[in-house]
Amino acid sequence: MSNEHPHANNEHPHVSSGHPHEHQVLNPATEEVIATVPAATPADVDAAVTRAARAQTGWAALAPGDRARLLRRFATAVDDHLEELARLEVREAGHPIGNARWEAGNVRDLLEYAAGGVERLAGSQIPVPGGLNITFQEPLGVVAVIAPWNFPMPIAAWGTAPALAAGNAVLLKPAETTPLTALRLAELATEAGLPDGLFQVLPGAGPVAGEALVEHPRVAKVVFTGSTAVGKRIMAKCAAGVKRVTLELGGKSPNIVFADADIELAARSAPGSFLDNTGQDCCARSRILVQRAVYDRFMELLEPAVRSVVVGDPAEPGTAMGPLISAAQRERVRSYVTEDARVAIRGEAPAGKGFWYPATVLEGVGPTHRAAVEEIFGPVAVVLPFEDEADAVRLANATDYGLSGSIWTRDVGRAVRVSRAVAAGNLSVNSHSSVRYWTPFGGYKQSGLGRELGPGALAAFTETKNVFISTEEQ
């Protein structure tokens, strides 16, 4: 069944066999079929939930130290196979090899970090009259993690690692286009000694396998990363069962450059903020807001910075930007580069096979143009001028999204004022960093609901139980 990947076939221990429906996985850089995987049905989902619930009971009953030890073994297994996982990510997602190695390492680090929280997931004792009041943090049960194709490994781990650490079982549904690293991670979990059924991967279509997970009555929480439109539908379906949900959705993040900033550094850094992962990043700073006094200078500096980005074979160490994930995504990106938008800067892209699109910077559009307000999810940015601090904040907040953003200024007071004024969950001053596994991540407005990562990650997968014990004489 699988033509090249040995872990994606009907004999895989973490997916059911005998499926009438299968899905082909393409290499986006070459368009070749690299694997065929079975697509889970609602019956498969139901059987997986039953296995997961059974495994979760024993997992939650383990001593915290034993649960932590097994998660560390899982992290070690990932580390031992880091290059294999990275190469798999290159082939199924088109990520440059340097990025893919970081992503595999991020899975390892998340598991280590989550393991460190197992023995620290403590309740509290609250002073009350007439007795003793204590709280417990208890696992939810079975958690569904629906991961996207843009960062298949790390985002899958964002939900999976803390959920497992908190004592839950996890059912992971990867995106249809990128199931291979998820399947391999499930194998490594078993090899590391995690109980059978505790962490299962269910490849398949969103409207089939994904919907079955969301609607299953024994799934206690859904963690979804993807488009805002799909997130809204999942939230509505979860409402019917009062089911917990964490949503990490779209973004249209601003990169705000004030006249007092280090303009050379801001321009040199800008390409990485919207071209990383070929722009397929919900944190992409695809709206570059530049104070009018330095606008022309910034654009002069931005052009060579964009053109210097190396685009090509993702397997080559020097490549900084690979292909888009699919032909459909390429057409979507292309639809935003319209005749009424002036192309100020355009990079290079390989010809021939593969879903390539050049780095593109647009200017001369208004702040309400669809390229300036909609999430493009490709290597396209719009540059807009602003007059002063108030104007910058107004433009930054003129969007339904609020995930991330950057602020470039040498004025510490301004950095703090603008950081407080911009409605976004993750902001960087004089940098473009958004995500660290030891700090919280999530969005304002239609960019999502809840927070992932950071010190509170495990608690997000628990219920708080309050117990009062009377000490009064009867």
Residues annotated as part of the active site: 248, 282
C-alpha distances (whole Å) from 38 to each of 26, 45, 81, 267, 279 are 15, 13, 24, 46, 29
What is the rounded distance in angstroms from the CA atom of residue 29 to the CA atom of residue 436? 29
CA dihedral angle for residue 258, residue 262, residue 266, residue 268, rounded to 10 degrees = 150
Instruction: Extract the tokens encoding 87.
Output: 């190469």
Give 35's strand partners.
25
Give the number of other Cβ atoms within 10 Å of residue 296's Cβ: 11
Instruction: Extract the tokens encoding 146.
Output: 């629906």
- Within 8 A by CB and 6+ apart from 425, the residues are 402, 403, 404, 441, 442, 443, 444, 447, 448, 451
Give 223's strand partners.
145, 246
Q: Which of 279, 271, 257 is nearest to 302 (CA)?
A: 271
Q: What does the DSSP assignment read for 302-353?
A: HHHHHHTS-BS-TTSTT--B---S-HHHHHHHHTTS-TTSEEEEE-----SS
What is the rounded distance in angstroms from the CA atom of residue 455 to the CA atom of residue 438? 6
Q: Is residue 7 within 8 Å of 187, Cβ to Cβ?
A: yes
Burial (CB count <10 Å: 0-12, 13-18, 19+), residue 122: exposed
Strands 404-408 and 254-257: parallel
Instruction: Extract the tokens encoding 465.
Output: 């139980």
Helix boundaries (H) for 5-81: 42-61, 64-80
Q: What does the DSSP assignment read for 382-402?
A: EEEEE-SHHHHHHHHT-SSEE
What is the rounded distance in angstroms from the CA atom of residue 254 to the CA atom of residue 123? 39
Strands 142-146 and 219-225: parallel
Q: Is residue 59 within 8 Å of 118, Cβ to Cβ?
A: no
Phi-psi region of 137 (alpha: psi -120 to 50; beta: other; left: phi over 0): beta
- Within 8 A by CB and 6+ apart from 435, the residues are 283, 426, 441, 453
